[in-house]
């Protein structure tokens, strides 16, 4: 029995693993005899190991457990030291493990593997985890001035090297540094939201900043092993609130008037810092222009001072004035309220000064003549601007006047509902039925549906809805797209059928485009469409854009995702939201100057200083050409926005898509000329599609 009891196989298979049994005491007549054991070398047990031997010679009911020491593993019925390169950190019967990543190879019998140079374990890291390195510095730190005064957002990208850790946090320090580089901490007044340290997100909002000061922000990356590193992974940015929205014009005063002139001055919501010079954009129109349904003509003056004398006006006539402040970079504030002033009538001025009766009449006649001449000149100018310059440079550089927009910005109206009434047809909601959700816009779902028209019968339409819980501002922003769209009429611009505003849920109803957005349409048909069809699409988009630029409308977000395709493969430019000014575009990226810009589609000058013109739309059109010829490929592939901007500044341009006719690619390159005046105009492009023999032969 004793021989059987010490069979090694038995020892291996009972929990007394690693124990040696002692001699059987007693006379063998008992049902089971308790036998004490002891652990093999390099094994220990908390209680004395025991087992019972039955009269049948079987070992039963083992008690106690022997376990191999740290650095030793179970091999058969003994505990063997871990091999070099392996370790076992604790008591137990598990096997030695290979040393984790970033550790030095261990010696025989190791209980842990030391970290390689430059790698560490935080006190809370188990010995079984890989050693990790401290993080590198946060990248691409930028600041964005928020519209609220005194606030900016700092944002950055995570470090390139996380050191293999997931417990990264960031801290931000604010300092004021002088030219010699010596710095002092910023005032305690400055607040960080959510906090200056322990940040898990890659942004923080800094509030209560002073617009006169330059701040130096240092963002540091931290992880559980940062304390072992002597290098501080920091990224620094010196910035100021220079890009704050310029102050607003609060009040326009009439300083002096005559039958033909008005002298005005205006007050600002706050005094701009001394080092910042603002300019002013003054717009005015005759009040009685309001009645004309189609177009209201504004005269625009760009002024250096906050006062002006406007001459050559009609006697006894009311004029409406608005002023907005332009920051040094050309960023506008919102317009002031519209103020009404009228020139004195000739009779009035007669009463005021009898001695000027004759002069007044003469001046009146002269003024009338001047007005006639001015109107003729302006008309002529407008006609010629459609041919050449027009929208590319909407302003004269000094205090000269020029009609600005043929399309009317709905923001010009104090009450946006007036713009809607003016440009948009109201549809009875009973004539509209929604059928199926086909997309999601910024303000709510987009449906396919049917509109019952007394004239056209049942017309398929797209219905944009405003999701419940909207604010009045959101409702107005939503409807502003309709007030813009309602002013356009072109086969390559999405057509507005009308709006529903009198119903609880506002809706915008447009023509239905069966094939949806151009980018996804092309991606789904990669390589399937012949070149002539792709070029046909581009010709359509170019025609739509020419129409918009002729209307002095700058789109700012032209991209294949904002072009819709109907069942005849006709392409129509869409997405005219004003609120958009790119805020809703998923591609929009905040820039250091505030506001969101779809970097990959935007011309360098529009990114750098928000110079959005038809010439920047031409750049975007070049990108759309590339998207179309590359079947919806993402421009610049997976390059980051930062890399794209850098590459563009270093004169890199997208290569020709596969099978792209060379003339088309040459036109793309023209659209991407750094100097905007060297880019072709949409007007010039219209001849390209008809004259270019390579395009003709497709």
Binding-site residue numbers are 464
Q: In whole angstroms, give the CA distance from residue 424 to residue 414.
A: 17
Q: Which of 69, 64, 129, 62 is nearest to 93 (CA)?
A: 69
Task: Name which of 312 and 514 has its Cβ closer to ligand AMP.
Answer: 514
Instruction: Spell out, one character per residue from 300 to 329, where the chain touches ligand AMP: x when CB under 6 A holds, - when not.
Output: ------------------------------
* 382-411: contacts with ligand AMP (CB under 6 A): none
Q: What's the min distance (Å) between Cβ of 460 and ligand AMP? A: 9
Residue 59 DSSP class: E
Annotated binding site for ATP: 464
Q: Which stretch binds ligand AMP (CB under 6 A): 375-383, 470-478, 513-521, 658-666?
A: 513-521
Q: What's the min distance (Å) between Cβ of 446 and ligand AMP? A: 4
Helix 682-691 to helix 531-550 angle, to the nearest 10 degrees?
A: 150
CA distance readout (Å), 317 to 85, 240, 300, 343, 383? 95, 45, 18, 5, 27
Q: In this chain, which of 350, 510, 616, 683 binds ligand AMP, going by CB under 6 A?
A: 510
* 486-505: contacts with ligand AMP (CB under 6 A): 494
Element (H, E) at 417: helix 416-423
CA dihedral 587, 561, 495, 419 (to 10 degrees): 0
Instruction: Spell out, one character per residue from 437 to 456, where the chain touches ligand AMP: x when CB under 6 A holds, - when not.
Output: -xx-xx---x----------
Q: What's the min distance (Å) between Cβ of 443 and ligand AMP? A: 7
Q: In this chain, which of 174, 186, 462, 603 binds ligand AMP, going by CB under 6 A?
A: 462
Q: What's the min distance (Å) between Cβ of 582 and ligand AMP? A: 12
Q: In this chain, which of 498, 516, 598, 657 binds ligand AMP, going by CB under 6 A?
A: 516
Q: What's the min distance (Å) between Cβ of 438 and ligand AMP? A: 5
Phi, psi of 651 (to 5 degrees): 70, 15
Long-range contacts of 377-383 (CB under 8 A, 24+ apart): 378/297, 378/402, 378/403, 382/406
Instruction: Spell out, one character per residue from 587 to 626, where the chain touches ligand AMP: x when CB under 6 A holds, - when not.
Output: ----------------------------------------
Q: What's the min distance (Å) between Cβ of 481 and ligand AMP? A: 8
Phi, psi of 439 (to 5 degrees): 180, 175
Q: Which stretch binds ligand AMP (CB under 6 A): 70-78, 411-419, 512-520, 589-597?
A: 512-520
The structure tokens listed for 35 are 């036998």
Instruction: Spell out, one character per residue from 102 to 131, where the chain touches ligand AMP: x when CB under 6 A holds, - when not.
Output: ------------------------------
Centroid of chain to Cα 637: 17
The structure tokens listed for 68 are 């191999």
Task: Name which of 82 and 494 has its Cβ closer to ligand AMP.
Answer: 494
Number of residues that bind ligand AMP (CB under 6 A): 16
Residues 6+ apart with CB under 8 A from 611: 330, 603, 605, 676
Task: Name which of 320 and 485 has its Cβ closer to ligand AMP.
Answer: 485
Q: Which of 573, 604, 572, 599 is nearest to 586 (CA)?
A: 599
Q: What's the min distance (Å) between Cβ of 628 and ligand AMP? A: 16
Q: Which stretch binds ligand AMP (CB under 6 A): 34-42, 303-311, 509-517, 674-682?
A: 509-517
Q: What is the CA radius of gyration of the chain?
A: 39
513 binds ligand AMP (CB under 6 A): yes
Task: Name which of 308 and 517 has its Cβ closer to ligand AMP.
Answer: 517
Q: What are the b/e assignments for 636-670, b being 16+ CB within 10 Å? A: beeeebeebbeebeeeebbebbeebbeebbebbeb
Task: Name which of 519 and 550 has its Cβ closer to ligand AMP.
Answer: 519
Task: Name which of 199 and 573 has its Cβ closer to ligand AMP.
Answer: 573
Q: In whole angstroms, give the CA distance from residue 402 to residue 381.
A: 8
The residue from 409, 557, 575, 585 that is catalytic is 557
Residues 6+ apart with CB under 8 A from 154: 141, 142, 143, 172, 203, 204, 205, 206, 217, 219, 237
Q: In whole angstroms, give the CA distance from residue 97 to residue 86.
A: 5
* 57-76: contacts with ligand AMP (CB under 6 A): none
CA distance readout (Å), 137 to 168, 204, 220, 248, 645? 11, 16, 7, 39, 21
Element (H, E) at 302: strand 299-303
Q: What's the min distance (Å) between Cβ of 485 and ligand AMP? A: 10
Number of other CB atoms surrounding residue 598 within 10 Å: 23
613 prior amide bond cis, ω within 30: no
Task: Name which of 248 and 495 has its Cβ closer to ligand AMP.
Answer: 495
User: Tokens 């007007």 appear where?
Assistant: 683
Task: Name which of 77 and 497 has its Cβ closer to ligand AMP.
Answer: 497
For residue 557, indicate whether it is catalytic: yes
Instruction: Spell out, one character per residue from 548 to 587, where the chain touches ligand AMP: x when CB under 6 A holds, - when not.
Output: ----------------x---------xx------------
Find the residue with minimal CB distance to ligand AMP: 439
Q: What's the min distance (Å) between Cβ of 101 and ligand AMP? A: 45
Q: In whole angstroms, give the CA distance from residue 272 to residue 691.
A: 53
With contact defined as beta carbons under 8 Å apart, do 327 and 246 qualify?
A: yes
Task: Name which of 347 and 440 has its Cβ closer to ligand AMP.
Answer: 440
Just list the catalytic residues.
Answer: 557
Instruction: State the residues that interact with ligand AMP by CB under 6 A.
Output: 438-439, 441-442, 446, 462, 494, 510-513, 516-517, 564, 574-575
């Amino acid at each position: 029995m004793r021989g059987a009891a010490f069979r090694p196989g038995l020892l291996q298979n009972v929990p007394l693993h690693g124990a040696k049994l002692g001699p059987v005491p007693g006379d063998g007549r008992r049902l089971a005899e308790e036998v004490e054991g002891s652990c093999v070398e390099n094994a220990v047990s908390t209680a004395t190991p025991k087992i019972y031997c039955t009269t049948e010679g079987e070992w039963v009911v083992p008690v106690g457990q022997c376990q191999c020491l740290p650095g030793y593993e179970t091999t058969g019925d003994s505990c063997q030291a871990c091999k070099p390169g392996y370790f076992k950190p604790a008591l137990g019967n598990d096997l030695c493990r290979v040393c984790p990543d970033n550790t030095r190879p261990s010696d025989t019998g190791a209980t842990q593997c030391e970290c390689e140079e430059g790698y560490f374990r935080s006190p809370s890291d188990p010995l079984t985890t890989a050693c990790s390195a401290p993080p590198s510095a946060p990248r691409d730190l930028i600041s964005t001035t928020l519209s609220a005064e005194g606030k900016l957002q700092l944002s950055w990208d995570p470090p390139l090297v996380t050191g293999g850790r997931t417990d990264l946090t960031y801290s931000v320090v604010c300092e004021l540094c002088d030219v010699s580089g010596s710095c002092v901490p910023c005032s305690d007044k400055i607040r960080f939201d959510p906090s200056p340290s322990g940040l898990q997100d890659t942004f923080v909002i800094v509030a209560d900043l002073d617009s006169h000061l330059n701040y130096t922000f240092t963002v540091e990356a931290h992880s559980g092993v940062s304390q072992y590193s002597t290098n501080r992974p920091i990224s620094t940015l010196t910035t100021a609130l220079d890009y704050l929205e310029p102050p607003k014009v609060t009040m326009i005063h009439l300083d002096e008037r005559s039958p033909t002139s008005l002298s005005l001055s205006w007050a600002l919501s706050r005094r701009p810092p001394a080092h910042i010079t603002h300019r002013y954009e003054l717009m005015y129109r005759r009040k009685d222009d309001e009645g004309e349904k189609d177009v209201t003509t504004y005269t625009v003056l760009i002024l250096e001072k906050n006062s002006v004398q406007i001459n050559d006006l009609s006697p006894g006539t009311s004029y409406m004035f608005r002023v907005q402040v332009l920051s040094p970079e050309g960023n506008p504030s919102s317009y002031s309220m519209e103020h009404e002033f009228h020139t004195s009538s000739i009779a009035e001025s007669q009463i005021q000064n009898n001695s000027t009766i004759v002069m007044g009449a003469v001046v009146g006649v002269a003024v009338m003549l001047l007005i006639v001449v001015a109107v003729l000149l302006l008309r002529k100018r407008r006609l010629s601007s459609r041919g050449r310059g027009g929208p590319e440079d909407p302003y004269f550089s000094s205090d000269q006047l020029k009609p600005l927009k043929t399309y009317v910005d709905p923001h010009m109206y104090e009450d946006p509902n007036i713009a809607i009434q003016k440009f948009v047809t109201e549809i009875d909601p009973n004539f509209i039925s929604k059928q199926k959700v086909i997309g999601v816009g910024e303000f709510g779902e987009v449906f396919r549906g049917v509109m019952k028209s007394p004239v056209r019968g049942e017309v398929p339409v797209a219905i944009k809805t405003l999701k419940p819980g909207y604010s009045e501002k959101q409702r107005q922003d939503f409807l502003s797209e309709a007030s813009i769209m309602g002013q356009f009429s072109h086969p390559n611009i999405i057509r507005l059928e009308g709006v529903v505003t009198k119903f609880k849920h506002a809706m915008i109803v447009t023509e239905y485009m069966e094939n949806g957005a151009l980018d996804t349409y092309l991606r789904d048909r990669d390589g399937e469409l012949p070149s002539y069809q792709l070029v046909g699409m581009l010709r359509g988009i170019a025609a739509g854009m020419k129409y918009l630029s002729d209307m002095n409308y700058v789109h700012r977000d032209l991209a294949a995702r904002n072009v819709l395709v109907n069942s005849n493969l006709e392409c129509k430019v869409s997405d005219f939201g004003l609120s958009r000014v790119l805020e809703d575009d998923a591609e929009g990226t905040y820039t250091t100057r505030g506001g969101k810009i779809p970097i990959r589609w935007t011309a360098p000058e529009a990114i750098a200083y928000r110079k959005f013109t038809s010439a920047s739309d031409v750049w975007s059109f070049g990108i759309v050409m590339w998207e179309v010829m590359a079947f919806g490929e993402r421009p610049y592939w997976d390059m980051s926005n930062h890399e794209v901007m850098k590459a563009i500044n270093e004169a890199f341009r997208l290569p020709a898509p596969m099978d792209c006719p060379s003339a088309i690619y040459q036109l793309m390159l023209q659209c991407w000329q750094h100097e905007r005046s060297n880019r072709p105009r949409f007007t010039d492009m219209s001849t390209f599609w008809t004259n270019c023999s390579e395009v003709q032969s497709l």
